[in-house]
Structure 1
C-alpha cells in the first residue's frame, strides 16, 4: 500500500515537471515589475532631457535680455525667466549658497567683459571686469519626475549662457539753418502736406533744435498703430500717415513744449490719408530685432524733428511736384 502511494506521487511529480504550459505566464509575472521600473526610469529620463533643453533656451534668452539692460541685470533675468514660466526664481548673490528645490529655481547673474579674440571660448568672458559689456547667467533647478522618484536619486538641472552686447556709436541726423523765414517754410511744408500750415519762426527754430529719440518715436508709432508685443522691425514694416507720425514725435519724452505744440498743430492740420511705408523713413539695422521698449547698450539714435517731418511729408507727397510762390530773391 505504501509503495503504491509513493509510486503515485512520483508519477504526479513527473507530470507536473514536464508540463510547460504556464511557463510564459510565470516568466511574465516575474519580469513585469522589472519592465515597469525600466519604463518609469525611461519616461522620467526623457522628461528631464526635454526640461533641460527648455531651461537652456530660457537661460539664453535671459542672458540676451540682461546684456541689453546692463544697469539692471538681475531684474532683467528674473523677469524674463518668470514671464516664460520658470517657477520661484531666486538670485544667488556672490558668497551665498542656495540649493534648488521643487518649485524654487536658483540663478547666478555675473556681469563682466567679453572680448572676441583668438583665446579659447571659455576664456573670452572675464567676470566682474569693467566696463561691462556681457552677462553670464547660471541656472539650477530640480526637474519634475513622474514615476521613478523612488528609484533614482534626485537630479539637478544645470545650464549656463553668456551674452554680450556690442556697443555702437551714437549718431544724430538733422540739419541746421543759418536763418529762417516762417512764410517760406509754411508754404513749403503746407505744399508738401497739401494743407494750410501757419507756424512762427519760433516754432520752426524749436523743431530744428529738437532732437527726437528714434526708438522712442517708434514706440509712439506702435501706440498710434495699436501694435503690442512686437519688435521695432515689425513696427517699421507697417505704414502710417503724416498725422500719425507727427503725433508720435510730439509724444516723445523730453521734447520741448514749443516743439511739442508745433508738432501737434501740424498733426491736426494734416488731412492727407496717404500712408507712408515706415521702412522708407527709418532703418534701424540689427537694432530692429529688439522688442519695443528695449534699449541697446551704448547706442543712442537721434534725429531732427523737422528733418523727420519733412522727410515724411516728402514721402507722402510722392512724385507730385509742389508749386509754391515763395516770393524770395536769390
Structure 2
C-alpha cells in the first residue's frame, strides 16, 4: 500500500514527544520546589517572629510592665526579644510595645484597645523586612508595574499580666437547717416584706439553705438570658433586672435538680412584689471591684442567702413591712412589724492591695448585714392600777385648786422601735509570703442598736429614712389647770426613751485563708451578748419624763406636792419596763432578725485569699 494511503500515525512523527513532556514536568517540579522552599522560608520567618512577639509580650506582662512613667513594658519586651535573637539593629527590623485594655466585640471576640495609662494587657508587634520569594520575583519580570523586591512580615501578640492577689469576704453564713417553726416564721417574714403570702415547706427552705451556685456561671447565664454583653460583669451588676428573672436564672444553673428547691423558687416568684416585675441591681448585693478578673467571680453563693438578698433589696426600696403575729413569738399582747432599711452585701472581692478603709472608695472590700427596723406595740393595761392610785392620791388636792388629772385613755399602748444598724467588715491588710503563711486582716463591727420608746408615727417608721426622729412622749398623767384647761399646767408624767447601745469592734485576723473558689475558711466570729437588751440593766435609767409645776406661791407649792405624788409611778413603771423590754425584744433579735440574716450582737465573717491565682497568659 502506498504510504499516502496509510491512515495510522507514523512512528517517525512521534519522535521527541517524551522529551518535551519530560521538560515540562521538570519545569513544573522546579517551580513547585521553588514555591515550597520560598513558602517554607517565609513561614519559618513568620513563626520565628510570632515566637519572639509571644515571649516578649509574656515577659513584659509577667513583670507587670507599664507604659507610663519609665515605660518599663518596652524595656522588658526589648530585652526578651534580644535574648531570642531579634535585635532591632537596622531599618529592616522593628518592634512596638503598647499598653491598654481588653474588651469584647459584638461577636464576643477579644479586642485590644491601646491606653498608655493602663496595663491590663500588653501588646507587642514585631516586623522584619525580607527578600520577596523567587517565584514572586520571576512573576514581577512579566508585571507591567514594578513590584518591591522585599516584603515585610509581622507578628502580633497580646498578653495579660498575672492576676493580682484576690481577697474575698463573706458575712453571716445562712441557716444550716430550717424546722417547721422557722418555716412558718420565714413564710410570714418574707411574704410580708414582699407584700404577699408564702407557703413554702420546711423541705423547700432547707433545700435553699443547702444549695449553692457558682457566681461566674450564674452571671454568664444571666447575661445570656437578658441579652447583655458577655463578659462585661461591671455593667451586668449595674443593670436593673427583675427579681423573677434572677430567680429563674438561679433555678437554671442549680447543679442539682431538687424539686423542693424548684417549688420554693416558683413560690417566691409568684409573690406580689416579684410577680409584678420589681427590678433590683446585683451590685447592691455583691461588692466587686471594677475590672475584677473573672477568676475573682469563680466562687460559690448560697442560694438561701442570694434570695434573701433579693427580698431585702426589694423591701428596702418600698414602704412594705412584715407583721409578725404574737403566737409566732410566744408573746401575749404584742404585735411586731419588721422593715428592711438597707439590704445586706453578701460577698465582696477584689485586689487587697487597693483596699482602703474609706467607705466611699469603690476599691474597698466591704461586706455588711442588713439594717433592720422593728416596731413593737405593747399593751400597757397593767399600768392601770398604778395610774388609778396616783389619780386617787392627788385628785382631792387638785380639786381644791380648780385642777384635774387626765389619765392616758385605755387601751394604753407603748411603741418600742429598735433600729439595728448593719454589722460590717472590710479588709485592712494582707500578707502573701507563701500560701502556707498568708494572712488577711478585716476590721469588723457588730451592729449599733438604737432603742426608742414612746409614741412613733407609723408612716414615718415605714419610710426608708436611715434614722428615725426621736419618738413622741407617751403621756401617762397630765395635770390640767386654768380655764380653759392647759396641759401640763401643774405637772405630769410620760414615757420617753431614745437610747443608743454601743457597737463592738475588733480586727479579725485570718491565717492561711482558703483559695478563691473554695468555701470560705476560716470563718471567724465577733461575739457579744446575745441577750443585749436584757443586759441593758440600768442603761434605761428612768424612762419617765416628769413635768414639774411652773406656778409660784401656794398654788405652786401644792402642785409640787402633786408632782411628788406622781413620783409614785417611777418605781412601778421602771420595774415594769425593766422586766418587759428585755424578754420582749431579745426573742425578736435572736429569732426574727436571725432569719433575715442579721445577728445583732454576733457576726460571722469568712475569708478567702489567693496570692498567685494565675500566670501571665497570651490572649491574642
Which TM-score applies when normalising by structure 1? Answer: 0.52
Q: Is the 8 A contact 1:190 1:197 kept in 2?
A: yes
- Aligned pair in 2 of structure 1 residues 137, 273: CA closer, same or farther (>3 Å)? closer
Partner of 1:186: 187
More strand by share: 2
Separation of aligned partners in 2, 1:98 and 1:138: 19
Separation of aligned partners in 2, 1:192 and 1:148: 80
Task: Deviation per CA, 1:231-282: give whole Å up to 9, x if none.
Answer: 1122222112221121121122424524344223322444232221333233
Partner of 2:62: 114
Q: Which has the larger radius of gyration?
A: 2
SS at match of 1:283: strand
Partner of 2:211: 210
Q: Is the 8 A contact 1:241 1:274 kept in 2?
A: yes
- Aligned pair in 2 of structure 1 residues 214, 287: CA closer, same or farther (>3 Å)? farther
SS at match of 1:234: helix
Alignment: residue pair count: 216
Partner of 2:248: 247
User: Is residue 2:288 matched to residue 1:284?
Assistant: yes
Q: Is the 8 A contact 2:251 2:262 kept in 1?
A: yes
SS at match of 2:301: strand
Alignment match of 2:306 (pick from 292, 305, 308): 308
Separation of aligned partners in 1, 2:324 and 2:45: 75
CA RMSD of aligned residues (A): 4.2
Separation of aligned partners in 1, 2:146 and 2:308: 68
- Aligned pair in 2 of structure 1 residues 138, 172: CA closer, same or farther (>3 Å)? same
Greater relative CO, 1 or 2 (CA 8 Å, sep 6+): 1
Q: Is the 8 A contact 2:50 2:156 kept in 1?
A: no
Please report how far the alpha carbon of residue 225 of structure 1 lies from its aligned counterpart in structure 2 after TM superposition: 2.4
More helix by share: 1
Q: Is the 8 A contact 1:142 1:155 kept in 2?
A: yes
Alignment match of 1:157 (pick from 151, 154, 159): 154
SS at match of 2:213: strand
SS at match of 1:323: strand
- Aligned pair in 2 of structure 1 residues 179, 159: CA closer, same or farther (>3 Å)? closer
Which TM-score applies when normalising by structure 2? Answer: 0.30
- Aligned pair in 2 of structure 1 residues 226, 151: CA closer, same or farther (>3 Å)? closer
User: Is residue 2:286 matched to residue 1:259?
Assistant: no
Please report how far the alpha carbon of residue 185 of structure 1 lies from its aligned counterpart in structure 2 after TM superposition: 0.7
Separation of aligned partners in 1, 2:146 and 2:300: 57
**Consecutive unaligned residues in structure 1, runs of 5 or more:** 1-96, 127-133
